[in-house]
């Protein structure tokens, strides 16, 4: 880091939890129209169940870091109304499965009010939510439901795979004029990585090439990016070079970056934790297949969660979402079966 | 009701009458236009409920917010949305309040504080809370009114919203226009408890039932609620009892409403009653009211003409206003 006044005192590496806390802190400090609301987010309640908002209500006051009743419709509704009046609320829905009880507010109102009002009103609301399998939380606390929101015109859907992006993308989401669903990974909060530059947002709609490569493009987002990177490491030892792309913004996603990459590698694997059927991968696969018909060395492969609820029993839960091994096998299979070699 | 005993100013009453007459006239012309095929819409007439928003809006400024519902033209006209913008929106034209992209169930007009018109029963309340929260955070003294029907008092959002508004003392007024029927279902058959107003007790909220067809009583009730909200004393639930003359939507023959009930309600039509009252008290003469009615009718006919002769939106509008920046829309 270059050590300007904004970055002084910042360690070279921080965790995702620290990055998110820092982004919320910086957004609250920079713009009086930003405020937070959600269940248990105040310091009196512990600063969020995983401590993401810890310290913020003490610093910025309970009016701006506002603990709410367990009332998801009312939380999102309050966020929408305040956003219509010019605020930039950041609402926390503790777990992604709980957005189900606020779907009317998100799908019928937050996403559509700009269009239905002919552009007179907009809803610059961020909904932070977390999810992820692997923690024994069972079927109602672990789902990735991003495809629902990516499917609604007017919503942006954002996720991260490292602390710097967690910071920059959250800052960008708060500054964005559209309603944004910001997905946090339950297992990511302790993940360490290079610190971001304070106050600098990561642009929405731009994917990141997190590992360059020539033979196969692996497209992923959220926690699955780490599994894709692990698979790419292993494949590199077998002289197979994978390009790993982190979408970062799921909707609208960065098609030009995907097209440029797949245009070179002519092989694509899409990996997400959400159930594979009708998932985001299907949309991306169809977009790429439409552009590269007849030019691909192998059919596009989609890897995703099993067609079931997230199971509790450990061996079942471990087998639910694609792991590095499945990604590696998928790449090897597409190279072995569908091409005349690298 | 103690407040209602105090007479309100004649100017206020004649202003409420003007609003109610404007609503009734536009409503009648819309129904006529829809029946004759000139206007191709699903229409939820507010006929019979004109007095409620007319009396309440009399106390609101352009800066105060309302959130209303698909049966909302009375609320919008009372709050000051120019009828020609509503007509053009109903006709799907570029000149409509929302460029024809919202339609009859989604009128928005922030210039007069009409922030959301929702087609989803019960959804006006949580969003109204947010607008009220914005005013509370800014300390700008605005109040927000959420209009909804008796059916909405049975969805979860009603209960979540009352609780949150009461806990946070939001400057919001929940106005249930209880027209006795939720779509085709009788109020007393499907709503437990004596009244919607009594539900406010459970949330520690000022709650009151009023004859929503009585302009003075409604005005006094609204004034107390608005004063309470503006002075930081929190929300009020008003159950304004009224009746719906035209069924759930245009074409509904109201077969589920006992004939006697409907006839009694129509015999007590609140608009002519207020008209007679305004004349009887010498606030306006019969001739002045007739002239007012002529003016309103002319205005409504001009609004219809404006709507039906306006341009359609261009097809570019399909991808415009989806996201804040149209160039981000990916097809």
% chain B with pLDDT above 70 = 98
Q: What is the DSSP string of A126-184?
A: EEEEEE-SSSS--TTS----HHHHHTSTT-EEEE-SSHHHHHHHHHHHHHSSS-EEEEE
Token pair listed for A136: 């024994």
* Cβ-defined contact of A74 to B163 (cutoff 8 Å): yes
pLDDT given for residue A339 in this prediction? 53
Most distant CA atoms of chain B, gap in Å: 63
pLDDT given for residue A74 in this prediction? 98
Q: Are B14 and B283 in contact (CB under 8 A)?
A: yes
Q: Are A270 and A238 in contact (CB under 8 A)?
A: no
Stretch B75-82: mean pLDDT, rounded? 98
Distance of CA A321 to the CA centre of its chain: 16
CB atoms within 10 A of CB A278: 14
CB atoms within 10 A of CB B331: 4
Q: d(Cα B117, Cα A199) in Å, to the nearest integer?
A: 37
Determine whether A283 is an active site residue.
Answer: no
* Cβ-defined contact of A114 to B328 (cutoff 8 Å): no
pLDDT given for residue A342 in this prediction? 65
pLDDT given for residue B2 in this prediction? 44
The closest of B49, B55, B73, B44 to B18, measured between CA atoms, is: B55
Q: Which band of pLDDT confidence, cut at 50, 70 and 90, is reported for residue B170?
A: very high
Q: How many angstroms away from the CA of A195 is the closest CA of chain B?
A: 29
pLDDT given for residue B5 in this prediction? 44
Distance of CA B317 to the CA centre of its chain: 28
The closest of A233, A185, A191 to A213, measured between CA atoms, is: A233
Helix (H, G, I), strand (E, B) or coil at A329: helix
* Cβ-defined contact of B134 to A178 (cutoff 8 Å): no
Q: Give strand pairing partners of A249.
A: A158
pLDDT given for residue A2 in this prediction? 38
Q: How many angstroms away from the CA of B82 is the closest CA of chain A?
A: 16
Q: What is the ipTM of this complex?
A: 0.96
pLDDT given for residue B4 in this prediction? 45
Q: d(Cα B109, Cα A113) in Å, to the nearest integer?
A: 12
* A101: contact with B, CB 8 A cutoff: yes
Determine whether A272 is an active site residue.
Answer: no
Distance of CA B251 to the CA centre of its chain: 21
Token pair listed for B154: 């049975």
Q: Locate the chain A residue with the closest alpha carbon to B330.
A: A252
Residue B139 has pLDDT above 80, yes or no: yes
pLDDT given for residue B330 in this prediction? 65
Q: How many angstroms away from the CA of A154 is the closest CA of chain B?
A: 5
Q: What is the pLDDT along chain A (342 residues), one digit of tens a residue?
A: 333 344 456 789 999 999 999 999 999 999 999 999 999 999 999 999 899 999 999 999 999 999 999 999 999 999 999 999 999 999 999 999 999 999 999 999 999 999 999 999 999 999 999 999 999 999 999 999 999 999 999 999 999 999 999 999 999 999 999 999 999 999 999 999 999 999 999 999 999 999 999 999 999 999 999 999 999 999 999 999 999 999 999 999 999 999 999 999 999 999 999 999 999 999 999 999 999 999 999 999 999 999 999 999 999 999 999 999 999 999 999 999 755 556
Q: d(Cα A254, Cα A209) in Å, to the nearest integer?
A: 11
Q: Which band of pLDDT confidence, cut at 50, 70 and 90, is reported for residue B326?
A: confident
A324 conformational bin, left if phi > 0, alpha if psi -120 to 50, beta if neither = alpha
- Cα Rg for chain B, rounded, in angstroms? 19
- State the angle between helix axes of B10-35 and B83-90 in degrees (0 to 180), rounded to the nearest 10: 20
The model's pLDDT over B250-291, given as tens digits with 9 standing for 90+, comes to 999 999 999 999 999 999 999 999 999 999 999 999 999 999
The closest of A213, A210, A340 to A268, measured between CA atoms, is: A213
Q: Are B58 and B12 in contact (CB under 8 A)?
A: yes
Q: Give strand pairing partners of A65.
A: A36
pLDDT given for residue B8 in this prediction? 84
pLDDT given for residue B98 in this prediction? 98
* B319: contact with A, CB 8 A cutoff: no
Q: d(Cα B17, Cα B23) in Å, to the nearest integer?
A: 10
**Phi, psi at B40, each rounded to 5°:** -100, 85
The model's pLDDT over B211-247, given as tens digits with 9 standing for 90+, comes to 999 999 999 999 999 999 999 999 999 999 999 999 9
pLDDT given for residue A10 in this prediction? 77
pLDDT given for residue A4 in this prediction? 38
* A177: contact with B, CB 8 A cutoff: yes
CB atoms within 10 A of CB A16: 25
Q: d(Cα A28, Cα A33) in Å, to the nearest integer?
A: 8
The closest of B323, B331, B321 to B99, measured between CA atoms, is: B321
Task: Please identify among residues 104-133 of chain A the ones whose CB lies closer than 8 Å to any CB of chain B.
Answer: 104-105, 108-109, 113-122, 124
Token pair listed for A110: 């937050």
* Cβ-defined contact of B129 to A252 (cutoff 8 Å): no
Is the preceding peptide bond at A252 cis, omega within 30 degrees of 0?
yes
The model's pLDDT over B171-189, given as tens digits with 9 standing for 90+, comes to 999 999 999 999 999 999 9
Of A63, A113, A255, the CB nearest to B137: A63
- Best to test chain A binding among B113, B117, B123, B126 (most A CBs inside 10 Å): B126
**Phi, psi at B30, each rounded to 5°:** -65, -45
pLDDT given for residue B328 in this prediction? 81
């Amino acid at each position: 880091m270059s050590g300007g006044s904004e970055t002084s005192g910042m360690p070279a590496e921080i965790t995702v939890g620290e990055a998110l806390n820092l982004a919320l802190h910086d957004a609250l400090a920079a713009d009086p129209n930003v405020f937070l609301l959600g269940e248990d987010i105040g310091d009196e309640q512990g600063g969020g169940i995983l401590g993401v908002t810890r310290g913020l209500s003490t610093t910025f006051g309970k009016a701006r870091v506002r603990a709410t009743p367990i009332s998801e419709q009312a939380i999102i509704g309050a966020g929408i109304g305040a956003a219509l009046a010019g605020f930039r609320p950041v609402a926390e829905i503790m777990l992604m499965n709980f957005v189900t009880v606020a779907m009317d507010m998100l799908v019928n109102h937050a996403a559509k009010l700009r269009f239905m009002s002919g552009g007179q009103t907009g809803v610059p609301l961020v909904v932070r939510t977390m999810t992820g399998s692997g923690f024994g939380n069972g079927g109602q606390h672990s789902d990735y439901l991003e495809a629902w929101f990516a499917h609604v015109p007017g919503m942006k859907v954002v996720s991260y795979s490292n602390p710097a992006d967690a910071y920059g993308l959250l800052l960008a989401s708060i500054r964005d004029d559209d309603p944004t669903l910001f997905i946090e990974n339950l297992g990511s909060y302790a993940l360490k990585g290079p610190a971001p530059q304070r106050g600098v947002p990561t642009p929405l709609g731009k994917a990141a090439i997190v590992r360059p490569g020539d033979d196969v493009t692996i497209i992923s987002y959220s926690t699955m990016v780490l599994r894709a990177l692990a698979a790419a490491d292993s494949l590199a030892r077998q002289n197979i070079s994978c390009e790993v792309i982190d979408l970062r913004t799921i909707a609208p996603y960065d098609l030009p970056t995907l097209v440029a990459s797949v245009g070179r590698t002519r092989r694509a694997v899409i990996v997400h934790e959400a159930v594979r059927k009708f998932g985001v991968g299907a949309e991306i696969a169809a977009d790429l297949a439409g552009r590269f018909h007849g030019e691909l060395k192998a059919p596009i492969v989609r890897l995703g969660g099993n067609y079931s609820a997230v199971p509790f029993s450990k061996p079942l839960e471990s087998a639910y979402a694609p792991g590095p091994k499945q990604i590696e096998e998928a790449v090897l299979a597409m190279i072995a079966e569908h091409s005349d070699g690298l | 009701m103690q407040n209602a005993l105090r007479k309100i100013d004649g100017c206020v009453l004649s202003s409420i009458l003007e609003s109610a007459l404007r609503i009734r006239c536009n409503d009648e012309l819309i129904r006529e236009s829809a029946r004759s095929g000139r206007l191709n819409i699903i229409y939820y007439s507010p006929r019979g409920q004109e007095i409620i928003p007319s009396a309440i809006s009399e106390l609101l400024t352009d800066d105060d917010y309302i959130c209303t519902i698909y049966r909302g033209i009375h609320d919008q006209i009372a709050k000051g949305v120019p009828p020609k913008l509503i007509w053009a929106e109903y006709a799907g034209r570029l000149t409509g309040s929302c460029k024809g992209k919202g339609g009859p169930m989604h009128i928005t007009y922030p210039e007069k504080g009409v922030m959301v018109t929702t087609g989803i029963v019960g959804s006006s309340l949580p969003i109204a809370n947010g607008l009220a929260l914005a005013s509370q955070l800014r300390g700008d003294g605005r109040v927000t009114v959420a209009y909804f029907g008796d059916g909405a008092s049975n969805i979860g959002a009603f209960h979540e919203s009352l609780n949150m508004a009461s806990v946070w003392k939001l400057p919001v007024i929940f106005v249930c226009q209880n027209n006795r029927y939720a779509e085709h279902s009788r109020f007393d058959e499907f709503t437990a408890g004596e009244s919607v107003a009594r539900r406010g007790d459970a949330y520690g909220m000022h709650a009151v039932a009023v004859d929503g067809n009585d302009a003075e009583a409604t005005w006094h009730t609204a004034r107390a609620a608005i004063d309470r909200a503006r002075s930081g004393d929190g929300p009020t639930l008003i159950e304004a009892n009224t009746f719906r003359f035209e069924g759930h939507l245009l074409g509904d023959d109201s077969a589920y409403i006992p004939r006697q009930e409907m006839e009694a309600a129509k015999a007590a039509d609140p608009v002519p009653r207020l008209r007679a009252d305004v004349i009887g008290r010498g606030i306006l003469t019969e001739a002045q009211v007739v002239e007012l009615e002529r003016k309103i009718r002319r205005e409504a006919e001009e609004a219809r003409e404006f709507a039906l002769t306006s341009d359609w939106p261009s097809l570019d509008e399909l991808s415009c206003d989806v996201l804040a920046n149209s160039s981000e829309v990916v097809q």
